[in-house]
Amino acid sequence: MADNILTYILELQDKISPKLKAINITNDTMLEYHLHIDPTTLTDEEWAEKLAQLADIRKKENGGK
């Protein structure tokens, strides 16, 4: 399961990374802001899972786009 999540996150990151870099927003920043968690306390698997959850939440907020 962790491999699938990590693969998903890496693919997602490739898609959005240039846009985020342009405005200086990191994945850690998004986790802190939206989920109110300290990403430095998470294992790699937990971090990937939380980022996937955040991506799903944001997608649903935007009408599934």
Residue 40 DSSP symbol: G
Domain total of the chain = 1
Domain with 21, as residue range(s), is: 2-61
Reported as a single tens digit per residue, the pLDDT across 20-52 is: 666 666 788 888 888 899 989 988 888 888 888
pLDDT classification of 60: cutoffs 50, 70, 90: confident
Provide the b/e sequence for 33-52 (b: ≥16 CB within 10 Å).
Answer: eeeebebeebeeeebbbbbb
What pTM value is reported for the model?
A: 0.60
Arithmetic mean of pLDDT, 13-24: 66
